């Protein structure tokens, strides 16, 4: 008899959770701007030891910390972190399968940090007249390291989300380094040259967000308008329906990016 009752309750619970998913279709956004607090100095010029005829004419600099006007910090990564799959706004359905391009261009990776969803193809291209190899140090997905020749892009699809942005390198040109952020959902933003980022259409509720920058990894213990990040660079933020949670200027101490 107990059995019967339990079974009923389980069915009921299942029904509720199904409907719950449907109801939760309210969305909000998150935005902010990273500003470095303090001086990071001039960008370090790269000593081009290989293929100077191609790579030597572009004033290549070390891109591990890129700061624009007023200390705007580029290439900081913010992404939603959840152990369970989150609802994805229907707008994202379109484009989820469109390829994104990681280009080897003038002996650097373009873009420097690339975001891609699982199952979404990455076109690894080479716009330079010389050969590059693309060596992605993926933690969860199968290792990838292949020669990319001029004009013959290679397509790569990643099946699993990577826990942290995975470094991408070219072994031939030892200064070349980029990152690829692989997530199951589209809730990832990379700060632009003004230090700004925005993640739109996040399902309403309190979510954990990871703040990450390549210089020091997790941006831990960083003050936010709404609290601060923990030692793992995470912060729980509440997204309200139809509103944008603006974190405003997020001050990143120069020391936090290793300067």
Partner 1 sequence: MPASEQTWRDQKVMHIVFGATALVMVIATLWLLAKDHNREWKKTQLTNRRKAAWVVQARHDSMADQFSGKMDTYDADIRRASSEPVDPSKIDEFKKLVEAESDRLKEPAPNWAKLDAAVTDVNEAATVAAEVREKVQMVGEDENPVTDDDLIAAEEKTAKERVDVFNILDDYISEARRREKQIAGQRKFVAADRTATLSQLGLMVGEGASEKRKAEVQEKITGYSNKISELTESLAAANNYRTSLDGIRADIDATRANLDKDRGVMQTELKRLADQASAMQPTGASRLGEWITRWPILNALYSGNVRIDQIWLPDLTINYNFSQAARFDRCKTCHQDISTTAPGTATDPAFPSLPEEQRNLTLKLATPDEAPKESNLPQEEQVRQIYGLVMSNDSLVGSETQAIVHYVLPGTPAAAAGLESGDIIQAIDGIDSYDKETVENYLLTLAQWGTPVELRVRRGLDHPYTSHPRLDLFLTDSSPHPEKVFGCTVCHDGQGSGTSFAWTSHTPDNADQQAEWIRDFGWFDNHHWIFPMKPARFVESNCLKCHYSKGELEPSERFPDPPAPKLVQGWTLVEDYGCFGCHEINGFDGPTRRLGPDMRLEPNYSEVALQTLRDTSLNDQERQLAQELVLSPDNKSIREQLFTALKADAKLASSSETRAEARLLETTHKLADGLKDVEVPGTYRKVGPSLRFLKSKVEYDWLYSWIKLPKDFRPSTKMPQFFGLWEHLETDPAELAVSKKYEGVEIRALSEFLLANSSDFQYLTPPGDVTEEASAERGKWLFESRGCLACHTHNEFPGIAANQGPDLSRVSAKFSNEKGALWLYSWIKQPNRYHVRTKMPELYLDPIAEKDANNQPTGKVTDPAADISAFLLDQVVDWQPKDIPARGWEGQEREALADLAVEWLTSDAIPTKRAREFVTKGIPDSLEPKLKADEKLLLKKNFTNPTEQLQNFVARRTISKYGCFGCHDIPGFEDAKPIGTGLADWGRKDSSKLAFENIHSFLAGPGNPKKHDTETHAAADTADTHAEAPVKSGDPAADAAHASTDSHAEEGHAGGHGHLDPADFVNDGISYYLQSLVSHSRDGFIWQKLRAPRSYDYKTTKNKTYNERLRMPKFPFNEEEREAVITFVLGLVSEPPADKFVYHPNDRQKAIVEGKAVLETFNCAGCHTMRMEMWDVAFHDGDFESPVDVVDFPFLEHKFSEQEVAESLVLDPRGRLHSRLVGQPVMNEETGEPLKVDIDGLPIEPDDMESDPYYRFTLWRDTLIDGEAWFMGIQDPMVPGSRTDYGPAEGAAFPAWGGDLARYLFPKVIAHAKQANPQVKGAEAWGWLPPPLMMEGEKVQTGWLHAFLMDPIAIRPAVVMRMPNFHMSSDEAAKLVDYFAAASNAPFPYEYNKQQRQSYLASQEKERPERFAEAMNIVVDGNYCVKCHAVEDFQPQGDPTTFGPNLANVHPRLRPEYVRDWVANPKRILPYTGMPVNIPYNPDAPYLGGVAQKLFEGTSLEQLSGLVDLLMNFDLYAKRKTQVSPLVEAAAAASAPAQATPPESGETGGE
List the structure tokens of 86.
């989150």
Residue in 115, 125, 156, 176 binding partner 1, rule: CB under 8 A: 176
- Among 133, 191, 229, 235, the residue binding partner 1 under the rule CB under 8 A is 133
Exactly one of 40, 100, 137, 204 binds partner 1 (CB under 8 A); that residue is 137
Q: Are 86 and 183 in contact (CB under 8 A)?
A: no
Q: How far is the CB of 243 from partner 1 (least distance, A)?
A: 28
Nearest distance in Å: CB 186, partner 1: 19
Rounded Cα distance, 148 and 107, in Å: 12
Rounded to a whole number of angstroms, the minimum distance from the CB of residue 161 to partner 1 is: 9
The answer to the question of residue 169 lying near partner 1 (CB under 8 A) is yes
CA dist 111 and 219 (Å) reads: 21
Does 26 engage in binding with partner 1 (CB under 8 A)? no
What is the nearest approach in angstroms of partner 1 to the Cβ of residue 231? 5
Residue 163 interacting with partner 1 (CB under 8 A):
yes
**Min. distance of Cβ 244 from partner 1 in angstroms?**
27
With contacts defined by CB under 8 A, name the span among 92-100, 137-145, 188-196, 240-248 that binds partner 1. 137-145
Q: Please state, in angstroms and rounded to a whole number, the distance separating the CA atoms of residues 33 and 206.
A: 20
Cβ 46 vs Cβ 52: under 8 Å: no
Please tell me whether residue 81 binds partner 1 under the rule CB under 8 A: yes
DSSP state of 85: P
130 is an interface residue for partner 1 by CB under 8 A: yes
Instruction: Report the alpha-carbon distance of residue 140 to residue 120 in Å, rounded.
Output: 16
Q: Find all residues with CB under 8 Å of 103, minimum gap 6, and list them.
A: 109, 110, 125, 126, 127
């Amino acid at each position: 008899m107990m059995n019967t009752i339990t079974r009923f309750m389980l069915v009921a619970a299942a029904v509720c959770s199904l409907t719950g998913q449907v109801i939760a279709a309210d969305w909000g956004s998150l935005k902010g701007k990273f500003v470095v607090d303090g001086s990071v100095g001039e960008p370090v010029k790269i000593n081009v030891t290989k293929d100077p005829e191609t790579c030597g004419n572009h004033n290549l600099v070390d891109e591990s910390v890129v700061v624009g006007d007023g200390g705007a910090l580029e290439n900081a990564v913010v992404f939603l972190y959840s152990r369970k799959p989150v609802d994805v706004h229907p707008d994202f359905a379109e484009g989820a399968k469109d390829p994104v391009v990681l280009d080897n261009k003038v002996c650097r990776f373009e873009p420097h940090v690339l975001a891609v969803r699982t199952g979404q193809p990455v076109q690894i291209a080479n716009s330079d007249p010389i050969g590059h190899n693309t060596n992605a140090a993926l933690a969860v997905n199968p290792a990838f390291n292949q020669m990319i020749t001029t004009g013959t892009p290679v397509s790569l699809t990643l099946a699993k989300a990577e826990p942290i942005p995975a470094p991408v390198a070219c072994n031939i040109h030892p200064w070349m380094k980029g990152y690829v952020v692989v997530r199951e959902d589209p809730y990832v933003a990379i700060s632009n040259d003004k230090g700004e980022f925005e993640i739109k259409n996040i399902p309403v509720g309190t979510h954990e967000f990871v703040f990450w920058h390549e210089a020091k990894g997790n941006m831990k213990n960083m003050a936010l308008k709404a609290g601060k990040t923990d030692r793992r660079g995470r912060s729980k933020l509440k997204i309200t329906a139809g509103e944008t949670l603006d974190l405003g200027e997020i001050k990143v101490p120069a020391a936090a990016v290793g300067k």
